[in-house]
Structure 1
Amino acid sequence: MKVLVPVKRVIDYNVKVRVKADGSGVDLANVKMSMNPFDEIAVEEAIRLKEKGVATEVVAVSIGVKQSQETLRTALAMGADRAILINAADDVHTDIEPLAVAKLLKAVIDEEQPQIVLCGKQAIDNDMNATGQMLSALLGWSQATFASEINVDGGSAAVTREVDGGLQTIKVKLPAVITADLRLNEPRYASLPNIMKAKKKPLDEKTPADLGVDIAPRLEVLKTTEPAERKAGIKVGSVDELIEKLKTEAGVI
């Protein structure tokens, strides 16, 4: 069984995001980039499926700029067998829209014929949470989103999902698209020997034109702003004072 894992290059989650002075977007100059954390969880789960003998091959795919090779090498160092880079942008500030990403992934899947597509539930840069669902619709495959546990048995997978009311377990037929949530696993650190081995693993490059996909943007970003700063709170001396301020100042009771 082949497992395909899409991964995205994003601003490292430890970095404070800065907005450009003109509001045209996020400042990426001299900013540390890394693999999207949810995608890292998906890579780890795919590798665990291989270690259990469920999967025979793990293929990592990234869509974006040339520098996304670094992200793919991280996936290879973790244990993926090979990688595919779809070079879809020249500018690091260009973010390929979810529908275009889903169409590109469908084209790759048509060639690779995996049984499972395992991806992060969303990217931490735009938080759209749409690519997995769109990909499932385009493929006509089963989907299981927000997975916190995956058990593959023959031609189906039992997936525990994190939903608003708690946990939900569903069974989906393979092939399927599964999106990983935060509590699915704890990703491993790549060891130095594996980092060295990753440099020799195959990494193919393609373009949207090779796959026959139009990635022209359908959305226009008008302005990017930072969230408004929260006002400082105040301390009260008693419950009576708290109630009084909630009535007279906050107007909530």
Structure 2
Amino acid sequence: MEYIAHSFRHAGVILHEPDFVDQFYELTGVIDSISDEDIILMHSSYGAKSVEGIPKSLSRAINQLLRERFVAEGWREESEIFQNPKYQGDTWRLDFAKGDISVEVAFNHGSVVAWNLLKPVLASELNHVQKAIQTKIGVVITATEALKRLGGFDGAVGTYEKYLEYLPPLNNVLTVPLFIIGLLPPKTFKIGHHQHADRKKIGNIVMEVGYENPFLKKLEETTILKTQDPNSSPQYDTQL
């Protein structure tokens, strides 16, 4: 996947220093390794048993691909920040950690943007509550507005642009370097919403006109793959 990035408190410079650079290249290598074809195959796999299993957006597929590849590279997933059992569970854990870098993959509601930025700080700063992990720098991976729109994400999802808006007012609270990564949409397809049932929308893969994808043959028997056509049935809402 392609992405853009923002460096807070010189995180971009620090991540290229000897103590961090190997882990940083490993992290960016995981993102770079995810192709459009990987996302198509993962997204379509959820409908293998029933079309109702197909998610509305690409968030689940991208999350799973990131998780599998980070774990394959030796990153610890769902890493607790604190040892005290009172401060454990989803609220108090990182998505991934390795060495001095903590990673938060943030495709969730915009109301938790500030908390997602704060968790890597908690992982890196000293605390009166006994720590389970001690990192030095944080990376937040999130969706750009373009991926949110073209990937079928819910309108309430916090985006890369929203994360950048939060940095100035939180400047005195976010005391450690943070590297914010905004994932860009796939180049060869987008998600079109299909009203499968009264209360169930699914995300159809909509290929860009003129693009011949070799993976189409593998998926031509599925119900989720549609070719973009301005004269297609109005039940497919690309929500551009």
Please give the TM-score of this superposition, normalised by the length of structure 2. 0.30
Q: Which has the larger radius of gyration?
A: 1
Please give the TM-score of this superposition, normalised by the length of structure 1. 0.29
